[in-house]
Amino acid sequence: MENKEQLNQNSELNEGIENEKVTPKSVKKAIDGNEKKKIMKLIQPDILPGKVRIDVCTLVEDETPAQPAALEEEKMPEMPEVMPEIEGATDAEDEEDVVEDSNDLVGLNKLQLVELLEETVQDPDVLKIKDKVAAIRLHFNQLNKVDMDNELDKFLEGGGLQEEFQHAEDPLEQRFNAAFGIFKANRAKQNEDIERQKVENLAQKQALLEELKQIIASDESLKKTYDDFRALQDRWKEIGQVPATENANLWNNYHFLVEQFFDKVRIGRELRDLDMKKNLDAKIDLCEKAEELLNEKSMTKSFKALQKLHEDWKEIGPVPQDKKEEIWERFKAASDKINQIRREHYSKLQEEQNTNLEAKKALCEKAEEIIGEEYTSVNAWQKKSTDFAEIFKMWKAIGPAAKKDNEEIWNRFKTAMDTFFAKKKEFFASMKDRQTENLDRKTQLCLEAEALMESTDWRNATEQLKKLQEEWKTIGPVPKRHTDKIWKRFRTACDTFFNRKNEHFSGRRSEEEANLAAKKALLEAIMAFQIGPNRNENMDAIKSFQKQWIEIGYVPMKQKEAINKEYRKLIDDLFDQMRKNQHEISTNEYREMMEGLKDNPEGYDKVRKERLSLQNRIQKLRDEIAVLENNIGFFSNSKNSELMKAEYEKKINKAKEDLKLLEDKLKIAED
C-alpha cells in the first residue's frame, strides 16, 4: 500500500498497524478509540505544518451516514484580506546593501580588486554575485578617482589647463571594464532567461489551477483526491516566480480554489485543531522574528527580512479562531513598527537630501553669478578660477539630493562650470594674440633702448629712456615663455646707460662744487658793479658777466635753482639801473633840445608839432596798455598760459616805461 513505507519509519506507531490496511473501517476504529497519532499516520503519514488536512469523517462516510457531533464541520479561518504594508525598496537601500557588502574589500588595491572581479564574474549566477560585483565596482571607482585626481594635479602643475585634461585608461581600468562587461552581458542574458522563465511559470501555474478545478470537481475517492491535491501543491511550490503584474491575481485564484477544496474535503476538527496549533506555533515564531527585526540597524536588511516573513506567513495555514485576531495583530504591530522606523529613516534622509538640494542650488546661483560677470585680466580669471574650484570642492562635500532632482541640479551646475571654462578658454586664446602683439612692441622698445645705451647725450638719452620705460608699463603681458627673456633684455639696455651715466657724473661732483664756488664769486662781482653813464660800457660789462656764468658750467643739482635765481635777479637789477639812467639821460638831452628850439624864433612851430606828436604817441601807448591788461585776464591757470602771461606782462612793463618817458618829454615840451 502507499503508506506502508512511512508506517515502517515510525517505530511508535508500527506496533499493531504495520500490516493494517488503510480503509474507512480502520480509520473509523482509530477515531472511536481517540487514537489521533494513529489517525494521522494512517491517513497523512508525512504531513507537515501548514499543509492542508483531510477531514477523517469523509473517509468513513460510506459506513457512517451521520458525522459525529464532535467532528461537525468547521470552516477554515479566513486569511486576512490585507497583509501588513510592505513598502517598496528605495535606491538608498540598494546603496546601503553595497556599502554593507563592501566592508570585506577595504584595504584591497586596484589590481586585487580587478583580479577579484575577474574571478567573481566567472560565476554565471548574476543574482548570487550582483552585490559583490557592485561593492567591487564601488571600491575600484573610488581608488581610480584618486588616481585620476592625482593625474589631473600633475597635469595642472605642469602648466596645463583643466579643460584640456584628458584621462587615458590604464591597463587595470581596461581589465576592469572587460570583466565588468562580462557581468553585464551575463546579467542581461539572465534577466532575459528569468523573464522568459516567469512567463513559462505563469503558464504552468495556470495549468495547475485548471487541474485543481478538475480535482475539486472530481468524483474520485477522497483519499485519491487528497493525494492528487497534495501532489499539486508540491508542484505549485516547485514552480518559480511569475511576472509581477500577474502575481496578485494568480495568488487570489489559487487561494480561492484551495478554499473550495477545503470546503469540499471538510477536514476533521481534531486533526484540524492539531494542524492549527502547529500553524499557530509557526506564526508565533514569525512574530518573534519580526519583533527581533526592530533591533536591526540596517533598514535594508530589516525590510528584506520582513518581506520574507510575510511570504512565509502566507504559506502557513490557518490558526484557531480564538487566536486568529490576536496573532494577526501581533504580527501586524511588529510590521507597522518596522515600517514606521523605516518611514522615519527615509523621511530624515529625504530632509537631508532636500537640504543638500538647497545647498547645491545656492552653489549654482554663485556659479551663475561668476559667469555673468566680465573679466579682462589674467589675475581676474585666475581669482575666479580659484573661486570656482572652491565652489566645486564644496559641491563634492555636499551629499546627494533625491534621485529625481540629482541629475537636474548636476546638469545646471555642470552647464555653469562648462560655460565658465569655455569663456576662460576663449579669453586666453584671444590673450595669446594680444601677447604676441605685446611681444612685438616690447621687442621694438628693446631695440630703441639698445640704440641709446651707449649714448653720451645724457640729458636727451635719459628723457628718451624714461619715455620708453613709461611706455613699457602700458604694454600688457607677453607669452609666458618670453616674459623673463624680454624683460631682462630691456632692463639690461636701460641699466647699461644709467650705470654709464652714474659713472660719468660721479667724477663731475668735485668739478660742480668748484663751479658753485666760482659762480658765488661771480655773484659777488656782479653785486659790486656800478652802472655808469656810458651805456655801451655797461652792456659790455653785463655781457661779460653772462659769458663768465655760462663758461663756469654745471653746479650741484640741489643748488642749481637757487643760485640761478639769484644770478637772474642781479642781472635784472643792472638792466633796471641802466634803464633808469637811460631815461634820465634821454630826458636831459630832450630838455636841452627843447630849450634850444624855444630860444629860436623859428623853432616855435617845431615845438608845437613835437607836442602834438608826443600826445598822439602817449594816447596810442595808453590804448595798447589797456588792451594788453584786458587780454591778460583771459589766460587760464596752466603751464602754457603762465608763459603767455609772463610775455604779456613783459610787454606791458616795457610800454609803461616808454609811456613814462614820453610823458616826461611832453611835460618838458609844454614848459
Please say whether the beta carbons of 58 and 67 come within 8 A: no
User: Cell for 655?
Assistant: 610800454
What was the pLDDT predicted at 601?
Answer: 63
pLDDT at residue 73, as a whole number: 34
Q: Which contacts (CB < 8 Å, 24+ apart) does range 577-583 have? A: 577/531, 578/531, 578/535, 578/538, 578/539, 579/657, 581/531, 581/533, 581/535, 581/538, 582/535, 583/657, 583/660, 583/661, 583/664
Give the pLDDT score at 266: 61
- Cβ atoms 413, 360 nearer than 8 A: yes
Q: Same domain for 331 and 458?
A: no
Contact 332, 291 (CB under 8 A): no
Residue 150 lies in a domain: yes
How much is the pLDDT for 69?
Answer: 28
Which structural domain, as residue segments, surrounds residue 486?
Answer: 402-506
Q: Are residue 203 and residue 286 in the same domain, yes or no?
A: yes
> What is the C-alpha to C-alpha distance for residues 603 and 587, in angstroms, rounded to an integer?
19
The pTM score is 0.35
Q: Tell me the per-residue pLDDT of 269-308, one tens digit each, with 9 for 90 and over.
A: 556 677 788 888 999 998 988 888 888 888 888 888 898 8
483-496, pLDDT tens digit by residue? Answer: 899 899 889 989 99
Residue 28 vs residue 397, higher pLDDT = 397
Residues 268 and 337 in one domain: yes
User: What is the distance between the alpha carbons of residues 81 and 248, in angstroms, rounded to a whole number?
Assistant: 12
Looking at residue 68, its pLDDT comes to 30
pLDDT(328) > 90: yes
Indicate if the pLDDT at residue 104 is higher than 50.
yes
- For residues 318 and 413, state if they share a domain: no
Rounded CA-CA distance 168/158 in Å is 17
Segment 536-543 long-range contacts (CB within 8 Å, at least 24 positions apart) = 538/574, 538/578, 538/581, 539/578, 542/571, 542/574, 542/575
Q: Residues 315, 407: one domain?
A: no
Distance CA 56, CA 43 (A): 8
Residue 568, in any domain of the structure:
no
174 and 263 housed in the same domain: yes
Asked if the structure places residue 407 within a domain, the reply is yes
The whole-number pLDDT of residue 59 equals 31
Domain boundary among 316, 331, 347: 347
pLDDT in the model for residue 216: 83
Say if 59 falls within a structural domain. Answer: no
Residue 665 lies in a domain: no
Report d(CA 271, CA 43) in Å as an integer: 11
Better-scored residue on pLDDT, 144 or 102? 144
pLDDT digits (tens, 9 = 90+) for 372-381: 888 777 788 8
Do 146 and 276 lie in one domain? The reply is: yes
The confidence score (pLDDT) of residue 639 equals: 55
Q: Are residues 324 and 426 in the same domain?
A: no
360, part of any domain:
no
> Number of structural domains, the chain?
2
Residues 436 and 332 reside in one and the same domain: no
Q: Looking at residue 1, what DSSP letter applies? A: -
Of 542, 465, 549, 543, residue with least CA distance to 500:
465
The answer as to whether 532 is a domain residue is no
Average predicted confidence (pLDDT) for the chain: 76
**What gap in Å lies between CA 7 and CA 21, rounded to an integer?**
11
Query: Do 18 and 30 contact (CB within 8 A), yes or no?
Result: no
206, three cell numbers: 495556470
Q: What is the arithmetic mean of pLDDT over 212-224?
A: 81
pLDDT of residue 605 exceeding 90: no
Three cell numbers written together for 446: 628693446
| Structure-derived torsion over alpha carbons of residues 218, 221, 225, 226, reported in degrees to the nearest 10 | 150
Determine the pLDDT at residue 533: 73
Q: In one letter, which amino acid is 534?
A: N
Boundary residue ending a domain (506, 530, 551): 506
Q: Same domain for 328 and 443?
A: no
- The average pLDDT across 385-414 equals 85
Residues whose CB falls within 8 Å of the CB of residue 548, separated by 6 or more in sequence, listed in order: 522
User: Same structural domain for residues 449 and 318?
Assistant: no
Residue 495 lies in a domain: yes
Domain boundary (465, 487, 506) is at: 506
Residues 336 and 418 in one domain: no
